[in-house]
Amino acid sequence: MSAPNSTLSDSDIETLNSIGHDTVENIVALVVESVLYTIYFVLVVFAGRILLNSKSRTKISIGIFGVVLTMLLLDTAMCIIDVNNAIREITFTLYATASGTLADRYNNLVLPWPVENALYAFMSNLGDVVIIWRTWAFYRDPRERWVLLLPISLLVGSFTTSCLIAYCVAKLDADPELGDFVNPPFCVNMQIASYSMALATTAVATAMICWKTWIYRRTIGTTIRSNNRKTRVEKIMTILIESGVIYFFFFLSAVVDDAGNVPNLEESTLQLQFASTVWTYMTSHILGIYPVIVVILVHSQRSYIESVTTTTAASSTLPSRYSHSHSGSHSTPAHKPWIGTSTVSSTGSHAKPAPFVPGRDHFLDIDVHELRQVHADPSIDDVNGQTSGAGEESELQSVKLPEKVGDPVAV
């Protein structure tokens, strides 16, 4: 029995196959995207509850929440564009009202991907703002503020590239037949320049936190713990560093993905094209989730680490043991920060605090929400432990240790 005659040409069959493949890709990518967007949305709500808490709300926390919320809105706009693109491809090519042949309609389909590139670029800039803010908390001493000029300069450069991408999008929208960032010529590499600036900003900020962590472990960490367990401050520092490294590799993959012949290789097989599409839909959510996690990490439980700063203090030698009177010890309420600036003090200790003398040896100022009873033996226990005095809600707001522990250590 002979096969029925088909009214579809070979070109139409090939085009329908491409449309079907694109539709399956879009459906799977949108499902994955919806899951990540839901997670992202929940994290933003949780971060908002922390940052806008009436007891801890400050101008800075409101500003950071504004940054986080703006990133969510940009990501939401990208999600809407993704849904629009999936629907538009079907309606523009398969609806009977569309003019031209099926192959022509498919080939002439113009989707607003460049707009997403601009939104993504500005979203990465806002994420860098959160990262630099977290780095600033480690460099509050005025003499160290100049170090922040490097990541801030990179951030300014990143915002500049984003503005240029927006300009390129406007030029492309005026002449959509160009199909990509090819006119003006500098638009060609603007996307990879944006990724590179974000990569450099993340690398510098993470390296600066690594430096402070090394200083802390060298001058403070080994002194205030009696075993090999990490203190709570070290744990937070480590998490910030590890998350920064992951974020670095995320942007590194974006740079590699846009460089050389990699884009062509991603389109070489249907499987690679499918994986590349799904990953592209995921990236904006990953970009937004990381800063939110940093905010939640830093502020949860009233922030395990408020700041790690370098200040100037009197030159003195750290004694091998701290004498402490066990009588009259009281725990400090968690809601009342201890603003003392002595070397190491605890309730019930009658030792006179060392005077603050600018221009002398450095102190590493660690602000953590725990109060320690400092006994004669051992010096100071692990920060994660409970105080030996009454009350589990006690806190240490400021621990300042002189650097002259044997040999002086320059910060």
Tell me which of 355 and 31 has the higher pLDDT.
Answer: 31
Which residue, among 25, 33, 23, has the nearest Cα to 80 in the 3D structure? 33
Residue 180: per-residue pLDDT: 58
pTM of the model: 0.67
> Where would I find the beta strands (DSSP E) of 320-398?
362-368
**Residue 68 pLDDT grade (very low, low, confident, very high; cuts 50, 70, 90):** very high
Residue ending a domain, choose from 267, 287, 306? 306
**Residue 299 pLDDT grade (very low, low, confident, very high; cuts 50, 70, 90):** low
* 389: pLDDT strictly greater than 90: no
Tell me which of 205 and 109 has the higher pLDDT.
Answer: 205
Do 249 and 381 lie in one domain? The reply is no
Cis peptide before 291 (omega within 30 of 0): no
Largest CA distance in the chain: 106
Residue 230: per-residue pLDDT: 65
Do 243 and 381 lie in one domain? The reply is no
Find the domain containing 248 and state its range.
10-306
* 213: pLDDT strictly greater than 50: yes
| CATH code of the domain in which 173 resides | 1.20.1070
Tell me which of 265 and 355 has the higher pLDDT.
Answer: 265
* 309: pLDDT strictly greater than 60: no
Residue 81: per-residue pLDDT: 92
113-136 and 232-257 helices, crossing angle to 10°: 150
The average pLDDT across 233-260 equals 82
Report if residue 2 sits inside a domain: no
**Residue 27 pLDDT grade (very low, low, confident, very high; cuts 50, 70, 90):** very high
CA distances from 281 to 26, 179, 209, 321, 367 (A): 9, 20, 31, 58, 40
Residue-wise pLDDT for 53-63, tens only, equals 877 788 888 88
H/E segment holding residue 310: strand 305-312
Residue 265: per-residue pLDDT: 80
Report if residue 216 sits inside a domain: yes
Report if residue 4 sits inside a domain: no
Residue ending a domain, choose from 306, 333, 353? 306
* 126: pLDDT strictly greater than 50: yes
Tell me which of 89 and 322 has the higher pLDDT.
Answer: 89
* 167: pLDDT strictly greater than 70: yes
**The total number of structural domains that make up the chain:** 2
Tell me which of 299 and 286 has the higher pLDDT.
Answer: 286
Do 238 and 207 lie in one domain? The reply is yes
Do 300 and 407 lie in one domain? The reply is no
The average pLDDT across 11-19 equals 83
Mean pLDDT over each residue of the chain, to the nearest integer: 70
Residue-wise pLDDT for 319-334, tens only, equals 433 333 333 333 333 3
Do 111 and 259 lie in one domain? The reply is yes
Residue 401: per-residue pLDDT: 40
Least confident of 10-24, 134-148, 340-354: 340-354
Report if residue 221 sits inside a domain: yes
Evaluate whether 291 touches 131 at the Cβ level (below 8 Å). yes
Evaluate whether 409 touches 221 at the Cβ level (below 8 Å). no
**Residue 183 pLDDT grade (very low, low, confident, very high; cuts 50, 70, 90):** low
